[in-house]
Chains A and B, each alone.
Chain A
Amino acid sequence: MHFDDNFIERCLDNDSKAQGELYKHFAPKMFGICLRYAKNQMEAEDVLQEGFIKVFRYLKDYRSEGSLEGWIRRTMVNTAINFYKKKTKYQKEISLDQTEPISYEEESAIDKLSARELLDVIRELPDGYRMVFNLNVIEGYTHKEIGEMLKISENTSKSQLSRARGVLQNKLKNKLKGV
């Protein structure tokens, strides 16, 4: 579906039908992103809801140079980051057990895990780890950019990513063992 300037104008004019079409087109993909950043389904719904409210309110700021999907995606990620920042006071730190390397057999079993199953593993990460992992590994932001976004130092971002990988590795191995 192509969303041209005319369509965006209709959204800006508060045309319910146009807004509904835009939402229907992008919501499933954006909800997938929100689920990765949120701790649970309800939080993801909240992020999606607030994210789309922002999308429609600030659609006038969208410049047609980049893709609309990319712009909406960034809005969702920023909304998720704001949620995270508001919860930073309540962070739980977890101790990281010794990580063991993943064997070849385990790799092939892990490959068969669905996105939903991996999502469950990501959600078990502490908020900070989950943010950094998502931003760096999935979205492709650098540690410097992540540091600015989350108001943490570059080194903190790096160390959190490293710990996130370690936790994920252990959790995946446990999942295979059925723990």
Chain B
Amino acid sequence: MSEESKYLDQLFQSKFAAFETEPPVAVWDNVHAELHGKGGGSINPINLAVLAALIMISGLLGYSIITNSSSTPNSNMVVDGQTAILFQEPVLLQPEALELPAVIENRLAAEPQKQYSSFLPATQENSNDEIEEAPESQNPHNTLHAYYVETTFGDAFSEKARIARLRARRSNGLYSSLNLNATDIRIRTNEYNPRFAGVNDGERRYNRRASWQMGVYFTPEVIFYPDDSIPNQKAYTFEVIGKWVKNDFFVESGLGLSFSSDDGKYAIDYEKFLGSYDDVYNVTFDTTESGALVPIYHTNIVDVYDSVSEYKVEQTENKYTYLQIPVYIGFQKEVNRFGWFIKGGPILSILMNENIPTPDAGNDRIVKIDQQMPGRVNALWQLGFSAGFTYQLSRKVSIAVEPTFKYYLNSQYQRKYITTRHPYSVGLRTGLLFNF
């Protein structure tokens, strides 16, 4: 041994001779729990936090849906100077309703009223007289009324209404400061100004109705373990999701089945099969018809194995099936048929099934099998992020493509054999979205 080797050996021996350090308290907690049968120890705080976030998101989503569906349809219009906001309550155009805290400075014109009078209850027809008497010159809100009527009862916006709305938006900062829950109407004299005609329709900011979509997706992905030399693993996921869209935001959740596999590795101590022989365990005698005495040998077949144990490594393919429950929150924009979106959220994966074949040793006798590939945990959390685009194939169907990135909050392998605590994966999620 060289002098340098001796020096190095002595250095490490002396430094580590009395080396001690306090382990974390959790180690003893786990040892104690294992010895005294308290199961898996303390609750993982990450799991708890993600669970709390999921419950909160579900609560908010539920509250939003309930609020949206139970509130009175409200479609009034606030016109203050040049500022206009659209609400949803046709009843507010009734003369009685206008007597509420509303400030009415200009009655509705006959022409727009004709457009929607048939939708009004019979009790309100009396008020039409007053409306019809109003001269055309004093009713500059025709465009707004048309906008109101079409928004409330029709599918499309008229050009005049659009211009009125855009003109109002451009007027001042009141647009954003108006109370959207107000039930009053303020209509003041307002002149149509063609100056703002032709402004891009894509700048709409009105309160759109929530909608639902259903999607079916397929995602091939590759999982990486940066701190281990485990080969990158492939997984395939099929999902059915529901998507709730409100304005430019959406919440997406559903169920998926994910299929993955890994190489099972077994270290096998075995004794080689050498052959077999008939072991005579008893001999009896019998006489033949001619009176001769013949022995009858009673035997067992005995296999013979090498007395020296050998060692080999067998490889199998283990297959796993996970149930995945994602909850995403995202933002999306659509321009004509194209759309883009970004989203992120937690994903819970639950191990539903594992198919782990045991190695076949043939005729050899297995002395000991040591499974070297770590087992998988029953549940794990991931954080998923993706950005992608959609293309509307028809009014009802869109196609979506999105590269995905998943960060594993805990590994799917049991901790003790794998160094990588937080694997990650990249994939390509493709699917079809159906509008309702």
- Chain A contacts to B: CB under 8 angstroms: 14, 16, 19-20, 23-24, 27-29, 31-32, 35-36, 39-40, 42-43, 45-50, 52-53, 56-57, 83, 85-92, 101-102, 107, 110-111, 113-115, 118-119, 122, 133, 137-138, 151, 165, 168-169
Contact B16 A118 (CB under 8 A): yes
Instruction: Report the separation of the CA atoms of residues A165 and B5 in the bound assembly, to the nearest whole angstrom.
Output: 7
- Chain A residues positioned under 8 Å from B21 (CB to CB): 28, 31-32, 35
Instruction: Report the separation of the CA atoms of residues A178 and B10 in the bound assembly, to the nearest whole angstrom.
Output: 23
- Can you name the residue of chain A whose Cβ is closest to the Cβ of B24? A45
- Can you name the residue of chain B whose Cβ is closest to the Cβ of A51? B31
- Can you name the residue of chain A whose Cβ is closest to the Cβ of B10? A137
18 A–B contacts, CB within 8 A, in A order: A16-B32, A27-B28, A28-B20, A32-B20, A42-B415, A45-B24, A45-B26, A52-B27, A52-B31, A85-B267, A90-B229, A91-B229, A110-B11, A113-B15, A115-B15, A118-B12, A137-B8, A165-B5
Chain A CB within 8 A of B419 CB: yes
Contact B419 A40 (CB under 8 A): yes
Contact A53 B11 (CB under 8 A): no
- Chain A residues positioned under 8 Å from B28 (CB to CB): 20, 23-24, 27
- Chain B residues positioned under 8 Å from A45 (CB to CB): 23-24, 26-27
Contact A101 B4 (CB under 8 A): yes
How many cross-chain pairs have Cβ atoms below 8 Å apart between A and B?
114
Contact A14 B416 (CB under 8 A): no
Instruction: Report the separation of the CA atoms of residues A43 and B8 in the bound assembly, to the nearest whole angstrom.
Output: 25
Contact B22 A43 (CB under 8 A): no
Instruction: Report the separation of the CA atoms of residues A39 and B31 in the bound assembly, to the nearest whole angstrom.
Output: 21
Contact A46 B415 (CB under 8 A): yes
Chain A CB within 8 A of B265 CB: yes
User: Which listed residue (A85, A90, A165) contacts B8, Cβ 8 A?
Assistant: A165
Chain A CB within 8 A of B36 CB: yes
Contact A48 B27 (CB under 8 A): yes
Contact B419 A43 (CB under 8 A): yes
Contact B5 A27 (CB under 8 A): no
Contact count band on B: 35 or more
Contact B16 A49 (CB under 8 A): no
Contact with A along B384-402 (1 / 0, CB 8 A): 0000000000000000000
Chain A CB within 8 A of B19 CB: yes
Contact A49 B229 (CB under 8 A): no
| Chief secondary structure at chain A's binding surface | helix
Chain A CB within 8 A of B157 CB: no
A43-B419, A48-B23 given; A88·B372 CB < 8 A: yes
A87-B417, A118-B11, A138-B16 given; A19·B22 CB < 8 A: no
Contact B265 A89 (CB under 8 A): yes
User: Which listed residue (A23, A32, A57, A88) contacts B16, Cβ 8 A?
Assistant: A32
A101-B4, A138-B13 given; A53·B22 CB < 8 A: no
Q: A27-B22, A31-B21, A102-B4 are in contact. List 7 more A-B contacts (CB 8 A).
A: A28-B20, A42-B419, A49-B27, A86-B370, A89-B372, A90-B228, A137-B8
> Which one of B21, B32, B36, B313 has the greatest number of beta carbons of chain A within 10 Å?
B21
- Chain A residues positioned under 8 Å from B4 (CB to CB): 101-102, 165, 169
A89-B372, A138-B13 given; A53·B34 CB < 8 A: yes
Contact B19 A14 (CB under 8 A): no
Minimal beta-carbon separation of A37 from chain B (angstroms): 11
- Chain B residues positioned under 8 Å from A133 (CB to CB): 12
Minimal beta-carbon separation of A122 from chain B (angstroms): 8
- Chain B residues positioned under 8 Å from A46 (CB to CB): 415-416
A32-B19, A48-B23, A114-B15 given; A53·B8 CB < 8 A: no
Instruction: Report the separation of the CA atoms of residues A17 and B311 in the bound assembly, to the nearest whole angstrom.
Output: 43
Contact A92 B229 (CB under 8 A): yes
Contact A169 B36 (CB under 8 A): no
Minimal beta-carbon separation of B17 from chain A (angstroms): 9
- Can you name the residue of chain B whose Cβ is closest to the Cβ of A45? B27
Minimal beta-carbon separation of A61 from chain B (angstroms): 16
Minimal beta-carbon separation of B61 from chain A (angstroms): 36
Instruction: Report the separation of the CA atoms of residues A32 and B24 in the bound assembly, to the nearest whole angstrom.
Output: 12
- Chain B residues positioned under 8 Å from A27 (CB to CB): 22-23, 27-28
